[in-house]
Amino acid sequence: MEKRKIGSLEVSVVGLGCNNFGWRIGPDETKAVLAASLDSGVNLLDTADMYGTGQSEEYLGDALGKRRKEVVLCTKFGFEMGAGKAGASPKYVREAAEASLRRLNTDYIDLYLIHRPDPQTPIAETLGALNELASEGKVREVGCSNFSAAQLAEAAAATPAGARGFVTIQNEYSLVKRTAEEDVIPECKRLGISFIPYFPLANGLLSGKYRLGEPFPENSRGKDEWGPKVFDPAYLNVVGQLAAFAEQRGRTLLELAVSWLACQDTVPSVIAGARTPEQARANAAAGSWKLSPQEMGEVDAITLQHETVGRSVG
């Protein structure tokens, strides 16, 4: 699989999102999904302390075993992890990092992200704490998630010369959620940092399982709490057009969703979750389509003609 750079790290163009671990699947299923991903060439594993309230990290650490050095391990901190356990104060940064290291059964984190901005803590203090962890060899690179363009600029301005700053941001981005193109992605280009999309399949909307006028599959996200925001007729109409575009070229909607993101020049890796080995293998294979400039333009014509879908509704 193609590899790209995030700072000093070299990552697979398709990564594995581990948010299902400890929430939707148990330890044995986690091992099967992880093995299928690694054997398919995936090396970027993305988790967070809050996923499964720590169980995602625990299951992942246990499943990795001797394969730890084969992967680039990304985890995040900042969301609520118990009474008084949240945020990005220097004290909590260290506490959260040590807890993640224990759960992941490792002595270093390759890519450590602040999961959301902390308005109570100056970003310079957070960066100082992250640099201390890096100087101790406990963190290799640092980044952020759910930051605005203005917050990215603030963080860059607060990073002293020679200090470790954010090398990447992880925000929502997909064929049907393109608001990041308005300001965050231009700011990434200005600062020279990468953009890792989350929800690349729009909570499953772009998986190929959903069509306008057809009932939602049983046990799908279209039937649970994720549904109301993306599983509506306006989105499903666009999905139908995108699916037809892919099928005309002998491809699947899943391949289009992943490969379109991988063709963006700021995107080093597309993180996709999986609950089964079959899904993991399909995700890994989906990033190989190199869309031509003409094809990219045709996709834009499908998505951006629907202004409320292409950019503003989520």
pLDDT of residue 308: 53
CB 48, CB 198: distance < 8 Å? no
Average pLDDT over residues 28-37: 98
CB 199, CB 177: distance < 8 Å? yes
Using the predicted structure, report yes or no on whether residue 10 has a pLDDT greater than 50.
Answer: yes
Catalytic residues: 51
pTM above 0.85, yes or no: yes
Q: Which of 6-15, 213-222, 230-239, 264-273 has the lowest mean pLDDT?
A: 213-222
Place of tokens 């506490």: 95
* 83-23-110-146 Cα dihedral, nearest 10 degrees: -70
Average pLDDT over residues 96-118: 98
Q: In 3-state terms, what secondary structure has residue 16?
A: strand
- Tens digits of residue pLDDT in 75-97: 999 999 988 899 999 999 999 99
C-alpha 183/C-alpha 34 separation (Å) is: 34
Expressed in angstroms, the distance from the first to the final Cα of the chain is 31
C-alpha 290/C-alpha 155 separation (Å) is: 34
CB 188, CB 194: distance < 8 Å? yes
H or E element that contains 20: none
- Tens digits of residue pLDDT in 159-175: 999 999 999 999 999 99
Average pLDDT over residues 101-124: 98
For residue 190, what are the β-bridge partners? Answer: none
In this prediction, residue 312 has a pLDDT band, given cuts at 50, 70 and 90, of very low
For the chain, list the domains and their CATH numbers: 3-202+264-289 (3.20.20.100)
In this prediction, residue 314 has a pLDDT band, given cuts at 50, 70 and 90, of very low
CB 6, CB 168: distance < 8 Å? yes
Residues 6+ apart with CB under 8 A from 11: 3, 4, 5, 43, 44, 72, 268, 269
Q: Which of 101-110, 188-197, 216-225 has the lowest mean pLDDT?
A: 216-225
H or E element that contains 151: helix 149-158
Residue 50, both tokens: 């809050």
